[in-house]
Amino acid sequence: MKSAVILFPGINRERDMARALEAVTGHKPAIVWHTETTLPKVDLVAVPGGFSYGDYLRCGAIAARSPIMADIRAKAARGLKVLGVCNGFQIITEAGLLPGALLRNSGLKFVCREVKLKVENTRTFFTNRMKQGDVVRCPVAHGEGNYICDAETLKALEDNGRVVFRYAEGTNPNGAMSDIAGIVNEAGNVIGMMPHPENMIEPLHGNTDCRPLFESLLAA
């Protein structure tokens, strides 16, 4: 499992993501600067969290139009696995790889705390080591994670098990519709989520609940 972590100006979670990927896969991910036009040969692209371009215009909007995104889009269409976390979720959604949009948190505040995540779909490359309905602890840190989409898209997501993660036990931090914390595209190779599983995989994180998510990559 070879991976790449994409780096945009203003991203700040790339080391956490690279460390998590290396810890579990044994391979150091390639760090790819956003002005590159071609990805190295990898099985997974991770778009990490942060504040790309200072959240100018809309969160992720400018990064989503970076040169490297054209190659990510083209290769994702041919099955390349893509994982977007936090700002990465916003970026790949702005890039059209996932449906819907992420709005300002309904409480208007930046929320940095731990939530409970229910795993709703265990047939994805990032959840195959989990059991249906498993609830894991996971941190969130965002101001704009309020997932929204139209009724038709929501039905398609729900009917096809494309809601991969849902905030559980009343921990929805942002007002996201149907407690949606993470979704997968129709083909199953692009996942976006607001919480930060890369920050809950080592004993020093206080908990290793999210390590099996990364271990799922080994089987995928």
Partner 1 sequence: MKAKIKVTLKNGVLDPQGKAIEGALGSLGFSGIDHVRQGKYFEIDLKSTDKAKAKAQLDDICKKLLANTVIENYEIELA
> What is the set of active-site residues?
86, 196, 198
CA–CA separation, 29 vs 193, rounded Å? Answer: 20
Q: Does the protein bind partner 1 through residue 57 (CB under 8 A)?
A: yes
CA–CA separation, 7 vs 193, rounded Å? Answer: 18
In the complex, least distance from residue 156 CB atom to partner 1, rounded to whole angstroms: 14
Q: Sheet of 30-33: strands edge to edge?
A: 30-33, 3-7, 44-47, 81-85, 190-193, 180-184, 163-168, 111-119, 135-142
Only segment of 28-36, 57-65, 121-129, 130-138 that touches partner 1 (CB under 8 A):
57-65
Nearer to partner 1, 107 or 133 (CB): 107
In the complex, least distance from residue 58 CB atom to partner 1, rounded to whole angstroms: 6
CA–CA separation, 120 vs 138, rounded Å? Answer: 15
Pairing label, strands 44-47, 3-7: parallel
Q: Does the protein bind partner 1 through residue 65 (CB under 8 A)?
A: yes
Only segment of 3-11, 55-63, 131-139, 209-217 that touches partner 1 (CB under 8 A):
55-63
| DSSP-derived 3-state class of residue 67 | helix
Q: Which of 14, 16, 55, 94 binds partner 1 (CB under 8 A)?
A: 94
Q: Which of 103, 135, 156, 220 binds partner 1 (CB under 8 A)?
A: 103
Q: Which of 108, 203, 204, 219 binds partner 1 (CB under 8 A)?
A: 108
Q: Does the protein bind partner 1 through residue 100 (CB under 8 A)?
A: yes
- Contact indicator for 81, 185 with CB cutoff of 8 Å: no
In the complex, least distance from residue 151 CB atom to partner 1, rounded to whole angstroms: 10
Q: Does the protein bind partner 1 through residue 175 (CB under 8 A)?
A: yes
In the complex, least distance from residue 106 CB atom to partner 1, rounded to whole angstroms: 6
| DSSP-derived 3-state class of residue 93 | helix
In the block, tokens 């990064």 appear at 63
- Residue 85, φ and ψ in degrees, nearest 5: -120, 130
Residues that bind partner 1 (CB under 8 A): 57-58, 61, 65, 94, 99-101, 103-108, 146, 148-150, 175
